[in-house]
A and B are shown apart, each in its own frame.
Chain A
Amino acid sequence: MAISEADGTQELLRIDRPMGWRAAAFPYLMFAPAFLLIAAVSFIPIAYAIVQSFFRSNTLALGRFVGLDNYRDFLFTLDGVATLEHSLIFVAGTVLIAVPFGFALALLLNRPLPLRGLLRTILITPWLVSNLVGALLWAWIGNPQYGLVPYLLEWLGLSMPNIITDPGAAMASVIVASVWASTPLVMVFVLAALQSVPGDLTEAARIDGASVWRRFRKITLPLVRNTTMMAVVLTSLHAFKSVEIILVMTSGGPNGATETMATKVFHEAFTLLRIGVGSAGAVMIFLLNLMFTMAFVRVLRTEHGA
Chain B
Amino acid sequence: MTAHGNRSKRQGRKLVGGIACVAFLLFAVLFAVIPILWAVLTSLKSPREVALYPPTFWPQHLTFENYAGAVFNNPTYLHYLFNTAVIVIAATCLCLICASHAAHAVARYRFRGSSVLMFAMFSTIMIPGVAVVIPLYMLSVAVGIYDTVAVLILVYGAWLTPTLVWLLRGFVIVIPNELEEAGRIDGHSRLGVFYRITLPLMKPGLLAGAVLIFANIWNEFLLGYSLVQSETARVIQVGIYANLTEVGVQWGRLTAAALVAMLPVLIVYAFLQKAFVQGLSAGAVKG
List of B residues within 8 angstroms of A23 by Cβ: 190
* Interface residues in A1-59 (C-beta closer than 8 Å to B): 1-3, 7, 9-14, 22-24, 26-28, 30-31, 33-35, 37-38, 40-46, 48-49, 52
A194 at the interface (CB under 8 A from B): no
B residues at A contact (CB < 8 Å):
21, 24-25, 28-29, 31-36, 38-39, 42, 50-55, 94, 97-99, 101-102, 104-111, 114-115, 117-122, 124, 126-139, 141-142, 154-155, 157-159, 161-162, 165-166, 173, 177, 180-181, 184, 190-191, 194, 215, 218-222, 225-226, 237, 240-241, 244, 251, 254-255, 258, 261-262, 265-266, 269, 273, 281
How many Å lie between the Cα of A52 and that of B136 in the bound state? 12
- Looking at the complex, which one of A37, A46, A121 makes contact with B161 (CB distance below 8 Å)? A37
Q: In the complex, which residues of chain B have a beta carbon less than 8 angstroms from the beta carbon of A146?
A: 50-53, 55, 251
When A and B form their complex, which 3 residue pairs have the shortest distance between CB atoms, in order from nearest?
Answer: A130-B219, A241-B128, A34-B102
Q: Answer whether residue A137 sits at the interface, using C-beta atoms and an 8 A cutoff.
A: yes
Contacts of A262 in B (CB 8 A): 128, 130
Q: Assuming A33-B102, A34-B101, A130-B261, is B158 touching A40 (CB within 8 A)?
A: yes
- The answer to whether B105 touches A38 (Cβ under 8 A) is no
Q: Is the CB of B128 within 8 A of A285?
A: yes
Q: A1-B122, A101-B28, A293-B126 are in contact. Are A35 and B38 (CB under 8 A)?
A: no
Given contacts A27-B106, A34-B98, A137-B258, 9 further A-B contacts (CB under 8 A): A9-B177, A44-B135, A125-B32, A126-B32, A132-B221, A192-B281, A241-B130, A282-B134, A285-B131
Which one of B42, B181, B244 lies within 8 Å of A13 (CB-CB)?
A: B181
Most buried by B among A13, A44, A145, A289: A13
Tell me the minimal C-beta distance from A122 to chain B in angstroms: 6
Picked from A60, A104, A130, A289, the residue with its CB within 8 Å of the CB of B126 is A289
**Which residues of chain A are near B261, meaning CB under 8 Å?**
130, 133
Q: Which of B109, B134, B251, B266 contacts A278 (CB 8 A)?
A: B134
Interchain CB contact (< 8 A) of A30 among B31, B33, B102 = B102
- In the complex, A216 has a CB within 8 A of chain B: no
B219 in contact with A282 (CB, 8 Å): no
Is the beta-carbon distance between A285 and B130 smaller than 8 angstroms? yes
Interface residue from A49, A243, A275 paired with B132 (Cβ < 8 Å): A49
Q: A2-B118, A31-B101, A34-B161 are in contact. Are A289 and B55 (CB under 8 A)?
A: no
Min CB–CB distance A107 → chain B (angstroms): 10
For B221, give its contact among A9, A192, A244 (CB under 8 Å).
A244
Q: List 5 A-B contacts (CB under 8 A).
A: A10-B108, A34-B98, A130-B237, A145-B53, A241-B130
Nearest-neighbour CB distance to chain B for A31, whole angstroms, equals 4
Q: Judging by beta carbons under 8 Å apart, are B221 and A130 in contact?
A: yes
B108 — which chain A residues lie within 8 A by C-beta? 10, 13, 27
CA distance A148 to B37 in the complex (A): 11
Q: Within the complex, which residue of A136, A243, A283 is in contact with B244, where a contact is CB–CB below 8 Å? A: A136
Contact, CB under 8 Å: B33 / A122? yes
Contacts of B39 in A (CB 8 A): 137, 140-141
Complex CA distance for A285 and B141, rounded to whole angstroms: 24
Separation of A155 and B57 alpha carbons in the complex (Å) = 14
Residue A180 is within 8 A (CB to CB) of chain B in the complex: yes
Taking CB as reference atom, which chain B residue is nearest A282?
A: B131
A143 to chain B, nearest CB (A): 8
Contact indicator A141/B34 (Cβ below 8 Å): yes
Which residues of B sit under 8 angstroms from A105, Cβ to Cβ?
Answer: 25, 28
The reply to whether the CB of A290 lies closer than 8 angstroms to some CB of chain B is yes
Point out the residues of chain B lying under 8 angstroms from A300, CB to CB: none
Complex Cα distance, B173 from A265, in Å, reads 41
Contact with A136, one of B21, B127, B258 (Cβ below 8 angstroms): B258
Residue in chain A with minimal CB distance to B53: A146
Asked if A270 is an interface residue, CB under 8 A from chain B, the answer is yes
A81 at the interface (CB under 8 A from B): no
Which residue in chain B gives the minimum CB-CB distance to A261?
Answer: B130
Docked pose: A244 CA to B118 CA in angstroms: 31
A188 nearest in chain B by CB position: B277
Contact indicator B158/A49 (Cβ below 8 Å): no
